[in-house]
Amino acid sequence: MKFLLDSCAASRTLHQALIDLGHDVLSAREGYSHAADETLLALAYVERRVLVTKDKDFGELVFLRRLPHPCIVRLVGLRVTGEVDAMRDLIERHGDAMREGAIVVVTGRRVRIRSARPGERDDG
């Protein structure tokens, strides 16, 4: 799977963990640190990358402005080790939904998955 880590979610630990799992990882800190959210969303969409962020502004771009999007994973209130564990679990359990462009919100207690298709799924 291919990932784009937003600057706010681009810890070295998470970056390396995804690489160690065999994934293609691009960090916004590498050449895109000042890019607008719209630019990052478009880059992830064109390159078919899962966008990993802590920023809820991407929801506005997708749901209100209806911009095309890849899968977006929003990590909320997790320590770096929790982010790594959450991403590993998401890839293992929900890889198909991620490949289909789901919107995923992960908190310490819950995983919410909104399918790219109509309807909502909640696995928490």
| Residue 42, pLDDT above cutoff 90 | yes
CB atoms near residue 66 (< 10 Å) = 8
Average pLDDT across the chain, whole number: 89
For the segment 55-83, what is each residue's pLDDT rounded down to a tens digit? 988 888 888 888 888 999 999 999 999 99
Of the CA atoms within 13 Å of residue 113, those in its CB half-sphere come to 19
- Please report which confidence band the pLDDT of residue 120 belongs to, taking 50, 70 and 90 as the band edges: very low
Q: What percent of the chain has pLDDT over 90?
A: 69
The one-letter amino acid code at 69 reads H
- Provide the sign of the torsion angle of the four alpha carbons 40, 108, 83, 90, taken in this order: negative
Beta bridge partners of 121: 113
Reduced to 3 states, what is the DSSP secondary structure of residue 123?
coil
| CA–CA distance, 40 with 95 (Å, rounded to integer) | 21
Alpha-carbon distance of 2 to 21, in angstroms, equals 11
Using one digit for the tens of pLDDT, what is the confidence trace for 78-94? Answer: 999 999 999 999 999 99
Q: Average of pLDDT values for 81-110? A: 93
